[in-house]
Amino acid sequence: MTGLPIAVVGASAAGLAAAEALRRFGWRGPLTLIGDEPHLPYDRPPLSKQLLHGAWTPEKLLLRTAEQLAPLDLDLRLGTRATGLDVAGRTLTLDGGVGASPLAEGRERGTLRCAGVIIATGVAARSLPGADRIAGVHTLRTLDDALALRGRLAHGGPPGSEGVAAGGGGGGRRVVIVGNGVLGCEAAAVARELGHEVTLVGIEAAPMAAAVGTEVGELLAEEHRARGVRLLTGAVDGFETAPADPAGGGDLPGAGAPRVTAVRLAEGGSPAGEGVAAREGGGSRLPADLVLLAIGSRPAVDWLDDPALDISDGLRCDAYCAAAPGVYAAGDVARWDHPVHGRPLRFEHRMNATEQGMAAARNLLAELAAEASGPAGAEAVAGAGDAVPAPERRPFAPVPYFWSDQYAVKIQAYGLTAGADRVETTVLDRAARRAVALYGRDGRAVGVLAAGLPPRRVRALRAVIAAPLPWEEARERIAAATAAG
């Protein structure tokens, strides 16, 4: 093979989808996949569910094995960070150097000039000041994060504690989860099923309210309370710690660091009550053996310092997922002009990652094929010459989809549910947590959510908001689809 490589930065679901699509659409040149973790590309949604619960091993999360990746003929650089991008020169700066073996020690920084670049670096977990220096305080974004948290949960409570069944009385560890969004709710369900005493603290009045609305959030709150989770509203302003226990815990991550003993809640949240002590000077104190910070994420764009790029709330792209000539983005990091909704959007959804990775690959190859037809582009895009047929550049216009599993409740949503100015929720069976919600914006229906409904009925709801409809028309179609179930 000749010519410059296409580099995919981010060995994620989006990055893998882009790499596979590049080969499928005809790229025969060098192809580099760069990942800052040492692991092969893996699936992230099970981290807060099956893996955290202990039902899955890390191997089951792999999106492809090494043998399955071999036909792609990748220059696979794991454990390597991209630290800069010169947009005009399409040149990456890498922490690890060019041509180094993926996990070699002592590598130096290097540069990699590319025919094109697809950025799929995803997001990073947000934390609180000083949290990384306290044993027992965790975030949950990577496989290593999930394994560390699973290790803590698997150790159960104090010596002699046998834990409890879900929905039962006390026992296990005192687990405080800060953040009542999707991740916090899923982790709370798992920790409760493992027999721990769980408190879920969030600034929203109801779980996941920012994403799904208050009424669906209240339905989820009822399920969590029924399972024994304590729900509190408020902000966290710090932690209390004790010296590390020299007698034990040496096999756990963070051993030797001060260990968390309590979470401090700011004044103005849920009042002190059972298990929540008032603090002198205001606020309250929540005892904790283990804390998970699930307070959101930030797009992983800090390494992109070229002024040609807009990195406000992700990497800004046009409708074709292009951030600049020859530079595209996909997945959680991309904020692009959605041609149907008419505004820039960014989704942290698993299905979007795969679909956008493929779209970015197709559109990049179409651009490179056009460059190859000119005299200046021959060297840079030599690998695109065998693309038969050359793909067409198309706007990326998906119907967003996300799901969440909490206990036996499956939530599925299509379209835009966050930021709605109108929400109508129909509770079909409160005891079974079955409901349908319609979400509107500017007089049009833009999203729909189903909780506890079978797949066939959920698919019928998707068709209603594939394109935004006038509110009343969508409302009638949702009612008909629900009644027909």
The DSSP code sequence of 212-264 is: H-HHHHHHHHHHHHHTT-EEEE--EEEEEEE---TTS-TTSTTTTS-EEEEEE
Indicate the residue among 268, 293, 318 that finishes a domain. Answer: 293
Indicate the residue among 327, 350, 384 that finishes a domain. Answer: 384
Within this chain, do residues 141 and 112 fall inside the same structural domain, yes or no?
no
121-135, 237-251, 455-469: segment of lowest average pLDDT: 237-251
Within this chain, do residues 185 and 255 fall inside the same structural domain, yes or no?
yes
Q: In what order do the strands lie in the sheet with 31-35?
A: 75-78, 31-35, 6-9, 116-119, 327-329, 322-324
Q: What percentage of the chain has pLDDT greater than the value 70?
A: 84
Distance between CA atoms of residues 36 and 10, nearest Å: 7
Indicate the residue among 351, 384, 417 that finishes a domain. Answer: 384
Q: Can you tell me the mean pLDDT for 205-229?
A: 96
Within this chain, do residues 115 and 27 fall inside the same structural domain, yes or no?
yes
Phi and psi of 431, rounded to 5°? Answer: -65, -35
User: Which tens digit of pLDDT belongs to each residue from 380-404?
Assistant: 455 654 444 567 899 999 999 999 9
The domain in which residue 435 lies consists of: 408-483
User: Which tens digit of pLDDT belongs to each residue from 223-276?
Assistant: 999 999 999 999 999 999 999 865 555 445 556 789 999 999 997 666 655 567
Mean pLDDT of the chain: 88
Asked if pLDDT for residue 97 goes beyond 70, the answer is no
User: Which tens digit of pLDDT belongs to each residue from 58-80?
Assistant: 999 999 999 999 999 999 999 99
Within this chain, do residues 348 and 460 fall inside the same structural domain, yes or no?
no
Q: Can you tell me the mean pLDDT for 418-428?
A: 93
Q: Can you tell me the mean pLDDT for 277-288?
A: 75
Q: Give, as one character, the DSSP assignment of residue 387.
A: -
Both tokens of 162, joined, read: 């046998």
Asked if pLDDT for residue 165 goes beyond 50, the answer is no
Within this chain, do residues 31 and 109 fall inside the same structural domain, yes or no?
yes
Name 477's Cβ contacts closer than 8 Å, sequence gap at least 6: 464, 469
**61 belongs to a structural domain:** yes
Within this chain, do residues 148 and 194 fall inside the same structural domain, yes or no?
yes
Distance between CA atoms of residues 420 and 465, nearest Å: 14
User: Which tens digit of pLDDT belongs to each residue from 333-359?
Assistant: 999 999 999 999 999 999 999 999 999
Distance between CA atoms of residues 371 and 112, nearest Å: 20
Give how far the C-alpha of residue 346 lies from the chain's centroid of Cα atoms, to the nearest Å: 11
